[in-house]
Structure 1
Amino acid sequence: MLRLDDVSKVYRAGAFGGRELRAVSGVSFDVNAGEVVSLIGESGSGKSTLGRMILRLTPVSSGAITFDGTDIRALRSPKAYYRQVQGVFQDPFSCYNPVFKADRVFAMIKDEYFPRVAAAEWRERVEGALRGVRLDPGQVLGRYPHQLSGGQLQRMLIARAVLLDIRLLVADEIISMLDASTRIDVLNLLADLRAGGLGILFVTHDLSLGTYVSDRTVVLRHGSVVETGPTDLVFANPLHPYTRSLLAAVPRLHARWDEEEADPGETPCPYHGSPEGARTRPGLAEAEPGHFAACSGCAEGAGAPRKLAKEKA
């Protein structure tokens, strides 16, 4: 459904734009229908930049993002694309105009996509969508954003996407501002939507949340993919030192911070054999079926896993 092929993003920086800042470098992965893919990395790793490029909010510098085989840059009608692809962002309060009632987001959808639907029928659709995200329409409709919690506002945004009957949701840190109990509600909601066939790109820096909800995991560092594969393989057998350091940083109730294991350091890449050889051929290696990792001796750039898998064969 969605495919990223060697996607990069370069910003111009410095006086008169004389310096380049590479935010994303050679990223390749895909998201299929009914699948949750977690995009995991620390702040500044390029996660949100990728999400914005998928949503056409930021232009791609090189590479291609395709949806159903069509490059999204070549789409004649962005409106048709947004009817199938929507995003929900980290801060729900920034998505609402504080001087309007929160349910104005539904009125905007109606005006843009369903102008001929009768008011009574539209209200039934809105109420059905709200119940689908576990909200009581009587408690949220007709209220201003400041009268609702972050969790309620976030679920209203998901309901807005559901009204469009979208096929792909870019969920960018959508639960980082929510309390623990509300997080579980939103995660379970995403699982229900996945069961209905929705593809989800779940952008997060929280490994525990990614483990809970995702089918596949993509680990991003300095704008490049350093490890990717089925979530159970990536977390049970982390190959790249960066992935291991992320896992070691997850707080444990039974241990003090100073008792955590140290960073295991660099390890030879299973494809290149040694860090020295890896520098001449940076990329991702298939260590086990479907599980790819970058050599820790490589530069931070990483190529497309499938290309290397074919080379290896």
Structure 2
Amino acid sequence: MLKLHDVTKEFRVGAFGGRRVAAVKGVTFEVVPGEVVSLIGESGSGKSTIGRMILGLNPVTSGSITFDGLPVKPGKEYYRRVQGIFQDPFSSFNPVFKADRVFAMIKETYHASVPAPQWAERVEAALRDVRLNPGQVLGKYPHQLSGGQLQRLLIARALLLDIKLLVADEITSMLDASTRIDVLNLLAELKARGLSVLYITHDLSLGNYLAERTVVLRKGGVVEMGPTGSVFGDPLHPYTRELLSAVPRLHEPWDDAVPVETCLYHRKGGSGGLYEATPGHFVACARLETC
């Protein structure tokens, strides 16, 4: 369904844009229907840039992104099938308008012919699908609602479009622990209905909880990807092991960071510099920037 092939994104920096910096380097992966894929990496690894390119908010410098076999083309028809939700839910709402204005905008743009009473029923049904009480959120201003309620309002908005792919960029990082689990369980329920999700996060535990497949980014490039159980249970790349060792564990001392080893897979072939160590489990050179 969604395919990224050798995608690179460069930004101009410095005085008069004289220098170019690659934020994403030769990234290749795909998301199939009804699948949750976690895109994991530290801050600055290129995760959000990839999400913005998929949503058509940033152009691709080279490579290609296709959806259902067609190049990504931002516009009304594309956003009917692909939507994004971002880290700060408050930034998605205009504070001078009531929060449910997002539903009015969807109606005006995509469902103008639907009678008002029928649209109200659809909105209430979508809110119940995301475990919100319509009477408690409709007619409220954003500052009167919690971050979790606002994130669920945005998911309800996406449901009203009957989307196929949701790009969820750090959508739980500003929520408390209990609300975070509610939102993740909601995404799991939507996946069971056939929705595909690209879950962008720096939190390994949440990615492990939700996704069937995991893609690990480092400095803009993919260093490891495969079934989540394999990536977390048998991490092959030193960077992946370093990330896992940094996850705090109750009643255990924290381990020191795992040092980067000598390259194990230098020049071993495979697309995008990835080596297929076991079926479906790919790993990159341990020293991408020097090999």
**TM-score scaled by length of structure 2:** 0.96
Identify if the C-alpha distance between structure 1 residues 282 and 156 changes in structure 2 by more than 3 Å, giving closer, same or farther.
Answer: closer
Judge conservation of contact 1:244–1:264 (CA < 8 Å) in 2.
Answer: no
What are the within-5 Å matches in structure 2 for residues 52-201 of structure 1? Answer: 52-72=52-72, 75=73, 78-201=75-198
CA deviation map 1:262-299 (0-9, x unaligned): 41431442x44xxxx569x9711011110000121333
What are the within-5 Å matches in structure 2 for residues 158-307 of structure 1? Answer: 158-257=155-254, 260-269=255-264, 271-272=265-266, 283-299=273-289
- How far, CA to CA, are the matches of 2:118 and 2:158 in structure 1? 18
Cross-structure match for 1:307: none
Task: Report the number of matched residues.
Answer: 290
- How far, CA to CA, are the matches of 1:229 and 1:41 in structure 2? 15
Letter in 2 for 1:237: D
Cα offset, 1:256, TM superposition: 2.8
SS of match in other structure, 2:76:
helix
RMSD: 1.6
Deviating above 3 A after TM superposition, structure 1's stretches of 4 or more consecutive aligned residues are none
SS of match in other structure, 2:48:
helix
SS of match in other structure, 1:66:
strand
Judge conservation of contact 1:216–1:228 (CA < 8 Å) in 2.
Answer: yes
Segments of 5+ residues of structure 2 without an aligned counterpart are: none
Segments of 5+ residues of structure 1 without an aligned counterpart are: 302-313
Judge conservation of contact 2:45–2:220 (CA < 8 Å) in 1.
Answer: yes
SS of match in other structure, 2:252:
coil
What percent identity do the matched residue pairs reach? 69
Cα offset, 1:261, TM superposition: 4.3
- How far, CA to CA, are the matches of 2:285 and 2:67 in structure 1? 30
Identify if the C-alpha distance between structure 1 residues 125 and 282 changes in structure 2 by more than 3 Å, giving closer, same or farther.
Answer: closer
Letter in 1 for 2:33: A
Judge conservation of contact 2:81–2:164 (CA < 8 Å) in 1.
Answer: yes
- How far, CA to CA, are the matches of 1:180 and 1:264 in structure 2? 31
- How far, CA to CA, are the matches of 2:122 and 2:84 in structure 1? 20
- How far, CA to CA, are the matches of 1:242 and 1:21 in structure 2? 22
